Structure 1
Amino acid sequence: MMRGMGGMQAMNETEALLMQAQAGELDSEDFIQQLMAAQLFMPIYEKHQIGGLQPTMGDKATPLTLDDEIGNKVLILFTSPEMAKNFVKDFPGYGGGLLAELKWIIEKVGTGYSISINPDNELGIDLEVGMLQGIVGS
């Protein structure tokens, strides 16, 4: 496991990637390219939660989004379901979710969002609206 700032340990490849970026070991283009293929956990609102089953990304699946201070939608993602636990407890119904590559997530939800990975955590990063548009191709 890699050790990052403040003695944190990366629990998976995505967290190791974030640590490298925070330490300035990757230029932004390399970081974004690698991040697009990284597995992230997207909390999803479920009206009828079924224990242990991962929801599919159908019409009823609503990802967790918040509004920033200027009214932009921010898609909330995490490097693992464990990393999401403390944050989502304040959002009833978002106990479940799915793990998927960031590229797939963006293709499903669209590029009109800012993205916050691991909000309120030192191993977090925010991506502004438009940073990923050229890479996804939409």
Structure 2
Amino acid sequence: MTTDFQPQNDLERQLMAAQENRIPPESFLRTLLGSEVFMPVYERHQIGGFATDTKARPLKVRTEDGEEVLVLFTNPERAKAFVKDYPGYGGGLVVEFPWILEKLGVGYGITLNPGLAFGIDFEAQDLARIAAMGSN
């Protein structure tokens, strides 16, 4: 884990502030709900830069407890070192965080910026509460 983390967007500034107890967690969550995140996806068959698969396969990892966790990053640059260990996941999608909750549901955990100095893990029940915040 590197401690040389220079924030590159508002989401990263808010994440740092929340983890350093400079803002309440709710402030970070509101920022997350209004932010774009990078979701690595499997790029199996490509022709001329276009994926031929009709459904994106996001990168998911298993925890020590066997739980499935979706991998997300605060921007595409943050993913480069992590995805080297996952062949086929060199590309991805930049999407609004609420889109993730809407399209993929909330029955799994999320790890945001795994392996980096500033990141956070959400369990499935956390995502349900976050989704409820977004609908208020």
TM-score interval, normalised by the smaller of the two chains: 0.7 to 0.9
**Aligned partner of 1:30: which letter?**
S
Per chain length, whose mean CA-contact separation is higher, i.e. which structure has more relative contact order (CA < 8 Å, sep 6+)?
Answer: 2
- TM-score after normalising by structure 1: 0.84
* Residue 97 (structure 1) shift: 0.6
Within the candidate set 36, 40, 56, 2:37 is matched to 40
CA distance in 2, matches of 1:118, 1:51: 30
- TM-score after normalising by structure 2: 0.85
Alignment of 1:12 onto 2:13: no
Within the candidate set 102, 105, 117, 2:100 is matched to 105
Unaligned runs of 5+ in 2: none
The alignment of Structure 1 onto Structure 2 pairs a total of residues equal to 131
Give % identity: 49
3-state DSSP of counterpart to 2:46: coil
Please say if residues 59 and 70 of structure 2, whose CA atoms lie closer than 8 Å, have aligned partners that are also in contact: yes
2:91 maps to: 96
Unaligned runs of 5+ in 1: 1-5
Deviates more, 1:76-85 or 1:27-36: 27-36
1:121 maps to: 116
2:62 maps to: 67
CA distance in 1, matches of 2:4, 2:85: 27
Please say if residues 109 and 127 of structure 2, whose CA atoms lie closer than 8 Å, have aligned partners that are also in contact: no
* Residue 50 (structure 1) shift: 5.2
* Residue 132 (structure 1) shift: 2.2
Matches within 5 A, 1:78-97: 78-97=73-92
**Aligned partner of 1:97: which letter?**
G
Please list the CA deviations of residues 98-122 of structure 1 after superposition, one character each: whole Å capped at 9, or x if unmatched.
1111111111111011111110110
